[in-house]
Homo-oligomer: A and B are copies of this chain.
Amino acid sequence: MDHVTVYAPGSASNLGPGFDCLGLALTGLGDTVTAVKAGAEGVRVARVSDPRIPTDPARNTAAIAAAAVLKHSGERFGLELTIEKGLPLAGGLGGSAASAVAGAVAAQALMRKKLTRDHLLDAALDAEAVVAGRHADNVVPSLMGGMVLIAGMQPLRLTSLKVHGSFYFVLVTPEYGVETAKARAVLPKDVSRADAIAQAASLAALVLGFERGDVELIRDSMQDRIAEPARASLFPGYAAARTAALAAGAAGVAVSGAGPAALAVVAGGHTEPVAKAMVEAYAAAGFGAKSHKARVDRAGARVIG
């Protein structure tokens, strides 16, 4: 095989109290990387569909991850990547992570030696670290699919969570970007003991709610006390969109990753009133917004051609 095309799904991380430790792969939004074996060693980027994303292989997450996989395998060939972005830049939907994962899986697919999942994750995490800090909460679900709890980073400890079949997700992306670096710069260094305890109890209740299909548990617990309060000013219109979504029947609403995308959890598939309420709330705040209906992408990154 001398060429391959890999799709990696976008993802929502944090989901409120799961800040920096919970992520969810989503259907219908993802990045696609085609890798072609090329004679000279090294990884090059032939084209990225979004011109704002660098083609410099030292600053492109797909290329960094592919290069890490090649290096780890010890195989010596060159790769030329073509990257089709289905995910927005600085949108909060795990775009840099999906490109990194797709790059790693594409490089792997062209090799004889099969790396472990943890090696692929390491490659993608190294790439993510260059643009967004070393955070696993998008990379892991994008690779593995489903909802994943990052129980620890050193060493990496992962737990796949069940997501009850009754849940749908509404992603609403307002027409402004938020740089991950900026969103991280405003985070508090410390949090009060009371907030730390409430965050822990809420996360435990949230994951149980997703496993059990318990809307009340999600409604009560989907609230972040660490990142969202500190970032409120970065997300104009979000507070109103959250209130509107809950009033329209959403079980819970949170900022997706570093935003600005907002994620609503809806039980039973009646997503339209929630999507409409959120888009209207952003419009009232002066921002256009697009909505997308998703389910859990249970497969994760996969070869599609």
The answer to whether A198 has its CB under 8 Å from any CB of chain B is yes
Tell me the smallest distance from the CB of A184 to a CB of chain B, in Å.
10
CB atoms of A220 and B18 under 8 A apart? no
Q: Is the CB of B17 within 8 A of A200?
A: yes
Q: State A159–B207 Cα separation when bound (angstroms).
A: 12
A199 to B196, alpha carbons, bound, how many Å? 8
Q: Are A149 and B193 in contact (CB under 8 A)?
A: no
Q: Is A150's CB within 8 Å of the partner chain B?
A: yes
Partner of A149, one of B159, B188, B201: B201
Residues of B within 8 A of A207 (CB): 204, 207-208
> Is A55 among interface residues, defined by CB-CB distance under 8 A?
no
Residue A50 at the chain B interface, CB threshold 8 Å: no
Say which residue of B149, B192, B220 sits within 8 Å of A190 (CB atoms): B192
Chain B residues with CB under 8 Å of A197's CB are 19-21, 199, 226
Residue from B20, B22, B201 within 8 A of A152 (CB atoms)? B201
Residue A151, interface by CB 8 Å: yes
Q: Beyond the given A149-B201, A151-B205, A203-B204, could you list 15 further A-B residue pairs with CB under 8 A, ordered by the A residue number?
A: A17-B200, A18-B204, A19-B197, A20-B197, A151-B202, A151-B217, A151-B220, A157-B205, A189-B193, A191-B192, A197-B226, A199-B199, A203-B203, A204-B204, A207-B207
